[in-house]
Amino acid sequence: MAEYTFLLQIGLILTIGVIGSNVLKRVNFPEILGFLLVGVFLNLFFVLSGHDVEFSELLDIVVAVTLGFIGFNLGSEIDWDTIRNLSAKIVIILLFESLLTFVAVTLIVYALSFPLHIAIIFGALASATAPAGTAAIFWENHCIGPLTTATMFILALDDIIAIILTDLAMDYSTIYYSGHTINFSELFFPIIFDLTASFLLGFTAGILIVYALNRVEDHGRYVSLVVGAIFICIGTASILHISYILPTMIFGITVSSLCKKPDIDYPTKKALQEVLGLTSPKIMEIIYDKKQNGEFKDEPHQIFHEVFRLSTPIIALFFILIGISLDLTSLFDIGLIGMIYMLTRTIAKSGGAYLGGFVANAQPVVQKYLGFCLLSQAGVALGLAVIISEHLAQFGTEAGMLGIFILNTITASTIIFQIFGPIAIKWAIDQSGESNGPYCE
């Protein structure tokens, strides 16, 4: 009977979370922030009412599944043509803004007397961005232009760097707590193994699914097959102790690249070619993907749309459970480090994007406003923070407390960034003149 009570609790939590999030959306709260706040309110209710509710085991599963779906959704926004034709300018900007953020936050946290392995973890998490929420603002405002194009490319690739840096940080923390001297082969081998295994797993799954999808016209019929493959990737990644996000991201990229596409005359293709000289229309499909009659097309992105819709309740449950699992008392103890973390990340992201744009000789609009479009932080950073918290917990009470501190800090900063990030993005696209641009008509 206990298991049915547990299911009732999950059902009530998800229902209350969705209703509460929609209420908060009416006062312009981002959806993800709404789920987090509902979770915090439920947490406070459980504490005040004396209810002892334990969701740690469920959270472990939800984190794995959520990161897997986030990885697939990210990968679906990229294809091999996009990667092959990637402008050197975008690569330079990407490296400047992500690595400068990593270095700056690491140095600042280390200067505050935190251990180096904890400082590196904070730096790695700071480099992550929130592609879904940022992209939604671009779609909502029908943005077209060099700033939009640069932002969408960086959003799709930024979190890959964050994942690699986080893997490196966790490997270093393992060496630190084991008491071994730093051995570079021991430090980098897990990352090489993670990347290689993730590529092979995701690419194999993608090839098999594409083989099936390319033999039917209605891709929506095979959505269950795609979801099954995502779960296989997640489960195999868990067995191999590798990242949940990377295999499913490679899976999404493979399907996006090799799935048959109709030949559609995109009015925005010329704009993309003028901006970066790219031949692939993929990025414009992401930004404003519609037929000439103004309706969104069904193929080949129907499968991605269906998977995204299926993943929404899982992602909602993830953010609600994060809010419920927060140590509310610890949130009041992170004021200084939280403020310093957010300030350093904001300056480094904005400054790195500007400096990278200057070095790459990008368009002035990209140099001025790109940094403001990269401030939001949500699902990937929170998911990685949960993984890090669980990773540190295995090394004892002190390490476990540091893991909880990291999770609480990232969660608190995520709430702040989710409030001010969209405001900064909207201001940037308005200043750039790309909101409701001429190519969107």
Residue with tokens 């180096």: 116
Work out the percent of the chain whose per-residue pLDDT is above 70: 75
Quick: pLDDT tens for 256-308: 888 765 443 333 344 434 444 333 444 444 444 443 334 434 344 567 777 87
Band of the pLDDT at 396, cuts 50, 70, 90? confident
Among the residue ranges 26-40, 186-200, 248-262, 275-289, the one predicted with the least confidence is: 275-289
Exposure string over 12-50, b if 16+ CB within 10 A, otherwise e: ebbebbbebbeebeeeebbbbbbbbbbbbebbeeeeeee
pLDDT greater than 80 at residue 77 = no
**By the 8 A CB rule, do 139 and 436 touch?**
no
Using the structure block, give the residue that is written with the tokens 């308005």.
430
394 vs 298: which has the higher pLDDT = 394
**pLDDT average, residue stretch 138-142:** 66
The Cα-based distances of 275 to 146, 270, 436 in angstroms read 6, 9, 17
Half-sphere exposure of 130 (CA within 13 A, CB side): 27
User: Are the C-beta atoms of 377 and 421 separated by less than 8 Å?
Assistant: yes
Q: Which residues are within 8 A (CB) of 98 and not within 5 positions of it... i.e. 6 or more apart? A: 127, 158, 161, 162, 352
Name the residue ranges covered by the structural domains of the chain: 2-440
Say how far apart CA 409 and CA 326 lie, in whole Å. Answer: 10
Give the model's pLDDT for residue 141.
67
**pLDDT for the residue 52:** 65
Judge whether 35 and 23 are in contact, CB under 8 Å.
no
Name the average pLDDT for the chain. Answer: 76
What is the pLDDT, as a whole number, of residue 332? Answer: 62
Bond preceding residue 438 cis, omega within 30 of 0: no
Residue 201: is its pLDDT beyond 90? yes
Is the predicted pLDDT of residue 42 greater than 90, yes or no? no
Tokens of 12: 């009530």
Give the pLDDT score at 234: 92
pLDDT for 297: 40
At 281 the pLDDT is: 40
Task: Answer whether 0.85 is exceeded by the pTM.
Answer: no
Q: Name which of 133-142, 174-183, 218-227, 349-358 the model is least confident about.
A: 133-142
Among 104-108, 184-188, 384-388, 435-439, the minimum mean pLDDT is found in: 435-439
pLDDT greater than 70 at residue 181: no
| DSSP output for 117-130 | HHHHHHHHHHT---
What architecture is the 2-440 domain classified under in CATH? Up-down Bundle (1.20)
Cα angle, residue 121 at apex, residues 119 and 127 outer, rounded to 5°: 105
Q: What one-letter code names the amino acid at 172?
A: Y
The answer to whether the beta carbons of residues 119 and 268 sit under 8 Å apart is no
pLDDT in tens, 352-380: 988 988 888 888 888 888 888 888 776 67
pLDDT in tens, 55-69: 666 777 887 888 788
DSSP 297-355: P-TTTHHHHHHHHHHHHHHHHHHHHHHHHS-HHHHTT-HHHHHHHHHHHHHHHHHHHHH
Q: Higher model confidence: residue 157 or residue 92?
A: 92
Highest mean pLDDT among 19-33, 257-271, 335-349, 366-380: 335-349
CA atoms within 13 A on the CB side of 24: 20
Is residue 161 very low, low, confident or very high in pLDDT (cuts 50, 70, 90)? confident
Distances (CA, A) of 211 to 80, 205, 219, 247, 351: 17, 10, 12, 18, 45
Residues 345 and 90: their CA atoms lie apart, in Å, by 20
Q: How many CB atoms lie within 10 A of CB 207?
A: 13
Q: Which residue has the higher pLDDT, 414 or 133?
A: 414
pLDDT of 231 higher than 90: yes
